[in-house]
Homo-oligomer: A and B are copies of this chain.
Amino acid sequence: VTRIPRSHPRYRSLVLRSDLAEKMARGVVVPEGLMAHGRGEAFDYLLGERSYPEALQATRAAAARLLLAQRPVLSVNGNVAALAANEVAALAKALPSLKVEVNLFHRTPGRAEQVAEELRRAGLRTVLGVHPTARLRGLPSDRGWVEATGILLADVVLVPLEDGDRAEALVRAGKFVIAVDLNPLSRTARAAQLPLVDELVRVLRHLKTEVVRQRRFPRRALATLAASVDGPELRAAALRRISARLEALAREDVRERPSKAR
């Protein structure tokens, strides 16, 4: 066991990483998922590590979409279960129409069950996707498996931390895709009709609050909210955010160490 010194300036982040590493040992997360988490961390750092105004508005719109949906499904992979099982369970409790389906890029025997177990331990009653029987067109190998009563029939699919192939296949299948992806230029963020360029735990918590708040809104108000954002504009806003943050960090950097380097 490695001790993380409390004096480390990124102590909290290191503890989270250590937690993910432990979940990999249990088979919930795969090594590729750890690398993906690292890429997300880099983008979150560049976005300022908090939900910015446009991202908050996008999440409000996503809540309205989910409330308007006939058959909404939340797709969960290993990283989602490892990072946010409690938040997934809380959202599903707040929105009884939402089905939760395990979907793995790296599907190995038993792993879907491990991921489902992680969700059940957090209090989720029903988890789809452990033994899926239907196929989503256009996805090679194991990645095309979906649940016949879940994603196959869904009208709105919330896909956090998903790969581009799957997001594109879902859109081609006629689904309205809400993605959660910290890289505003990823294929997932480009394919999704509603890309939430923000960190997963923050998004799910805010989504739950909004679902509860909007629950009694008339459908017309929900429709207005759902249409209040636009994919390309949301991605552009995230890029502006990153550019501004880079400039701010660069200014800070110069101020801190005026002539240090030689």
Chain A residues with a Cβ under 8 A of chain B:
2-3, 5, 7-9, 14, 17-18, 20-21, 24, 30-32, 34-43, 106-108, 140-141, 164-165, 183, 185, 187, 190, 193-194, 227, 230-236, 239, 242-243, 246-247, 249-250, 253-254, 256-257, 259-262
Contacts and interface: CB of A to CB of B under 8 A. Distances in A.
A166 to B, nearest CB: 11
A185 B34 CA distance: 22
A141 B2 CA distance: 10
Contact of A185 (B7, B249, B260): B249
B2 A185 contact: no
A235 B166 CA distance: 37
B106 A42 contact: no
Contacts of A239: 246, 249-250
A18 B39 contact: no
24 contacts: A2-B107, A2-B108, A3-B141, A5-B140, A5-B141, A17-B32, A20-B31, A24-B31, A34-B35, A35-B37, A38-B41, A39-B42, A42-B183, A185-B249, A185-B250, A190-B257, A194-B261, A227-B262, A231-B261, A231-B262, A232-B253, A234-B261, A239-B249, A242-B246
A253 B190 contact: yes
